[in-house]
Amino acid sequence: MKIAADFEKREVVHSETMPWIPSPMAGVDRRPLDRVGAEVARATTIVRYAPGSHFSPHVHTGGEEFIVLEGVFQDEHGDFPKGSYVRNPPQSSHKPGSDKGCVIFVKLWQYQPEDRTHVKLRMDAMGAVADAHYKGLSITPLFQDKFEDVSLLHFEPNTTAEIKVPNGAELFVLEGGVKEGNDNLVKHSWLRTPIGSSLSLLSGNSGAKVWMKKDHLTDVENQIQRVENA
């Protein structure tokens, strides 16, 4: 299966307008944003757990990264409420589910295979540092290594920012809205820009909170190869 699989192309998805698609597990539905592969796939997805639903225990051979958007996500490692940012590296395992229901933004098979770094953060409890170049923009660093840079951008109302992303980027709007180019990105809109691009951002009258990953698209072909060999 291929969805938004041309990584040299700009992609915008307003996920709130998409239908929910049932997964193989009862009570778990999905909104695919990009995907290369079948059930084992390099994928970016919105996943909804109905109250009391669970996935079977499994190993994340290619790693898993997610943000809890609504409710409380749960596994044997703890409870993760709205605002949690979690990275489960390759070869980690768990039995995910939710007693009361939840919605998460999740990315699979987008790790370096040797990465073993676990990350469990409460983004809503973290501070932010004012950007040195743009008044009204502050940044919460979430994760960085030589392959990727992940952060949370906090925009005050009507703030502009020009961000160079020569190795590609993804944005996911958590709150408020921003305009990038000719696209108005609202709550739970997702944008992927290719290698060699830049971001021209303007927040709306209510400001915005935006998750951003950059510098990671240079390894896409290797990620897809690892999925195909799994």
213 domain residue, yes or no: yes
Q: Considering its fold, how many domains does the chain have in total?
A: 2
Percent pLDDT > 90 in the chain is 91
Q: What is the pLDDT of residue 21?
A: 97
Mean pLDDT on 82-111: 95
55 and 156 together in one domain: no
Contact 74, 85 (CB under 8 A): no
How many whole angstroms separate alpha carbon 132 and alpha carbon 152?
15
2 domain residue, yes or no: no
User: Which domain covers residue 223, as residue numbers?
Assistant: 13-122+219-229
Q: What is the pLDDT of residue 39?
A: 85
5 domain residue, yes or no: no
225 and 118 together in one domain: yes
104 and 136 together in one domain: no
Dump pLDDT digits (tens) for 181-202. 999 999 999 999 999 999 999 9
Residue 128 has pLDDT above 90, yes or no: yes
Dump pLDDT digits (tens) for 55-71. 888 888 999 999 999 99
CATH number of the domain bearing residue 145: 2.60.120.10
Mean pLDDT on 21-44: 94
